Structure 1
């Protein structure tokens, strides 16, 4: 079987916010492919992270794909602002969208790639009528809202289910996995069908973050 090299998306949520520019430049100079930006509103998830001003500042110096993950209610109210702030990919949660097809069309109409995230309890079958329109499916491997959580083992089967749905539908969507990804489990995550690994604490708490990014990328 041909070795698969994943895309690596370090999560800025785990960075040192006193030296955020330095950490973005570290990612710029690494083998990372995307920069993952988690936006939390304290309503959809029990935490508040950062918003538009931080993202607008970060994207000015980021040389990577700016991968914005909205863990917020009513994302349609802010999609245009995130496009203007420099988001290249905008992912919304299926659980937060009453009119998901409309959300996806809005995101694409603003010139961004569109993703849908699934919480651990959400069935993959809910993607059946939207999968063909997606650029990305984000499988949450922890409950959203906080970094540093342990990977939920059921996620491997869920990734396989998403992969089967993508193949069956002819969708071109990539599978991104977010939460508790480490050097120890990354190989199994990729083997299950993931294309993109989000890594926060694993990267930023490493002695050498650039080397950790390289290791994650070539561990499959």
Structure 2
């Protein structure tokens, strides 16, 4: 099984996004991960719409968007129109999460369910049939560079065991170091959001790092 390597573009060099996109694609990444924050659901602001639109137009690989916002359903059509292929929404602040996930599917994108570290498997199992991807946050959402919260491993194990039954892929977001990528790939995690722990701000080029992560 090929692991999905997805650079978190919040960590990229915004001085030359065109160069960043090109070099990451040449390195062989699978999906561009785009974070949207409203300063309400999480205490930070994410990427601007102009940056996201630029990346989706430049990219030749799929783009996903992680909506860390209130009323995520209001923005589904906007991002689908931009060309985003996977939309992650949170169950924690959406009383009608099943409607939102179905809305994403009906709009022609893949439905992604993002879950915070404190969200249990039991609280989401009824809606897993609607999810094409489950994005497990191993840090509190909103900021890069945080430490991995090891207690999510138990939830990851359950999600990996049940993914064939429900039909989703398991993705991990937060402190995805090379060592953790190697360990958790063997346990069934399908993809990793790459930030400062494995990809950005390193002495090596993207073209050197991505093949190394593939071989782990």
TM-score interval w.r.t. the shorter chain? over 0.9
- How big is the alpha-carbon RMSD for the aligned residues of Structure 1 and Structure 2? 1.2
1:79 Cα deviation (Å)? Answer: 0.6
Instruction: Confirm or deny: 8 A CA contact 1:166 1:172 kept in the other structure.
Output: yes
2:200 aligned residue: 204
| 199-208 or 134-143, which deviates more | 199-208
Instruction: Confirm or deny: 8 A CA contact 1:11 1:198 kept in the other structure.
Output: yes
Deviations 1:165-194 (A, max 9, x none): 324xx2220000000001122111212221
* Corresponding residue SS for 1:188: helix
1:174 aligned residue: 169
2:39 aligned residue: 42
Deviations 1:133-176 (A, max 9, x none): 21000000111000011111122221111122324xx2220000
Q: Of the candidates 117, 132, 135, which is equivalent to residue 120 of structure 1?
A: 117
2:104 aligned residue: 107
Residue 164 (structure 1) aligned with residue 161 (structure 2) = yes
Residue 13 (structure 1) aligned with residue 1 (structure 2) = no
1:128 Cα deviation (Å)? Answer: 1.4
Q: Of the candidates 125, 133, 136, which is equivalent to residue 133 of structure 2?
A: 136
Structure 1: any 5+ residue segments left out of the alignment? none
Residue 65 (structure 1) aligned with residue 93 (structure 2) = no
Runs of at least 4 residues off by over 6 Å = none
